Structure 1
Amino acid sequence: MANQAEELKLKANEAFQANKNDEAIDLYSQAIALDEKNHVLFSNRSAAYTKLGKYEDALKDAEECITLKPDFTKGYSRKGAALSFLKRYDEAINVYEEGLKIDPSNQQLKTDLKTAQNDSKKPSASPFDFFSDPKFQSELMTNPKARELLKDPETAMLMKMMQEQPNNTALLQNPKLMQLIGIGLGFDIGMSDGADVKPERNTNSTPNKVNEQNSAEAEKEKGNEAYKKKDFEAALQHYDKASELDPKNMTYYTNKAAVHFEQKRWDECIKQCEQAIEVGRENKADYKLIAKAYARMGNVKAQEKDYEAAIKFYNTSLAEHRNPDILKKKQEVEKLLKEKEKTAYNNPELAEEEKKKGNEYFQKADYPNALKHYTEAIKRNSSDAKLYSNRAACYAKLMEFPSAVKDCEEGIKLDPTFLKCYLRKGHALVAMQDLGQAMSTYGKALEIDPYCQEAIDGQRQCSIKSNTDPDEIRKRAAADPEIQQILGDPSMRMILEQMQSDPQALRDHLQNPAIAQKIQKLIQSGIISTR
């Protein structure tokens, strides 16, 4: 159910970013029904309610968020915002101050607190106070024409300025703002030039805002320089200043997260990433930036060896933006998780019990059940070569010879001197009619034990079968690189041709040790037969 709730949350986040707030609220509500203890879901739904001007609902969700997780500062930010829109400024100020007690360095709370303090000092009597009226804002957000107008950054900025400066009548000279007022009050003022109501290019913010953004970028560059020099405290100071000047730019928060990552301050890194994502969502940041923040959270969890959480964050990052590097990291962590689970499952004592059960079933000729217990034994102790050997014997009885060969090879990797694995591999290869490989395998067994009768008999059997089967001889030659090299030597080809016309020439050539060794190899492999 938690996974299903997470999927719904991701869909809701996408709807929220696309300004489909009704849809986002519905999806968040579905997720809450599955995971009612998830504080983030209430925080996110509160934000969606705020966008729709449903401040009472936003306030309820923010309070529930704080109840579920009292140290989650974003909950205080949500509650303060709802109270501010309801013009309950004193309460909002108290909420922001409570949040700052938890995280005194939280720039978003500082900025919101300052705004609430300024709003509380504003004169209330103004003919345009309705801009801050939740009912008026709700009517705008539910009006299709108004929503279309507010997609234009300039119109949205003008509305915000009117909320902050209701006595600034100079703003009313802008025809876009007048048309928005007309729609909100129920009459259509229209555009003076008769143009369609469509989003236009942003004509940039006020000069003061631009200056602040430029100053913020300058601070960021200073922070970057300090970061490169590994002067992390100085870097943090510059990034803090940048986010104070321009709190709507999520990059400054992700940069702070990068510093905390280098300092191995994992909790702080996660906190900054979460804040970056919230700021990014609210200000429609590029999906790539959102993805980067999630990926950094994944990196933190990977460092903490919480691989499941790391994979979750990487998946979320990839859902935002498919980055090949992040995909590769995710795959690496998945391998680490698999190894971790494998190690956690390892238990030699239980493996021994399973092996005994497998032996009992094997003696009863109940090979499927024997196979099942040998397999479980290998899962419990994958470093025991005997277990692979036993399962290979089981596969052979079940006529699954390729699987028997594979298990023997695994056993040989673990213990290159384990004779039984070579013998069982040889038998399986003979059954598969791969006589060349079988003979080679028996040869390796004889290197371990020159007097092993089973290996001697196996090699003799292979030799008899090979010498009476020309196709097998050619097959073995094609599979043996050493034989191919001998047959590809022009001088050896000439010698072999001479031997066919003059068999007595063999004696002369055998006087040369190098040629004798090659001829002997061809005889052993069955390429040359002697009578």
Structure 2
Amino acid sequence: MVEAEGGDQFREEGVHAVAAGDWEEGLRCFERACKAAPKDPKCWAGRAAVMFGLKRWDECLADCDKGIVLCEEERREKEEAERRKEEEGGDESEEDSTDEEEEEEPGVLEAALWARKGEVLLEMGDEGGAEKAFERSLELHDSAEVEAALEAQKRDRKAREEAARQSLLVEASLDKERGTELFKARKYPQAVEAFTRALAVEPRSAVYLMNRAVAYLEMSKSMLAAKDFDESIASAREGGDMELLVKVLGKKGRMWERLAAVKGTPTTEKQKRLEDAAKAFDEGVKAGGGGGGGGSA
């Protein structure tokens, strides 16, 4: 009790010092409070508030964690005490009722510490950790202020993510154009690199896959070309883009025709390639049109 009273006295002095704008004196008071009552989470919460005001993020975070641990310990101790009381079958007294009213405090204080931790993590650039901290705070105690902070953080993060995504999409489109120009200049390896960069952003882009397939074909990498054509066809089907699907199937058919015409190709292999070409053209007709051209889109 003496320890708690000493901690309360220093804590109150710290609150007054901070209110007067003397943060350094406030810190000294809360440090004395934490030494006088190291098991009192209110002292650590107060020092965390001062550390936050002083922008000493690492120390603030450590104080929040310390206070949270103490709140959790208090809760477990009270739950254990209640369990023992129930087992003993004791009657509730006026003192018990008072204790029950006080039991709400650790939950509220712990929620405040989690909210403070969320603020610190935001300042430290850990948005994911901040959101989890705010969510934990709301699990412990409803707070319109914390809920608003959480929603604002989520909105801001999503807006930044969308802006970053749009920037990447623009760059991917530029890489596609670069690849097309490189293809026209017969710089096929560089064209493949450009289309590959675009695909890193949009891995299911039927257009980018088709273009890279055509570039691979010009490099005599028919297996890679066939793989990209197949993935492009699947993506175009998934997206319901029948016009593009017809175009890719046409290019795939022309690829097999071209490979069948390679000198020295065994008859059986030549026949298979011609059959694959006919199959691709037939699928193109069924999809809504004939075969497409052979250049980069």
Higher-RCO chain (CA-CA 8 Å, sequence separation at least 6) = 2
Give the helix-richer structure, 1 or 2.
Answer: 2
- Output the TM-score relative to the length of structure 2: 0.48
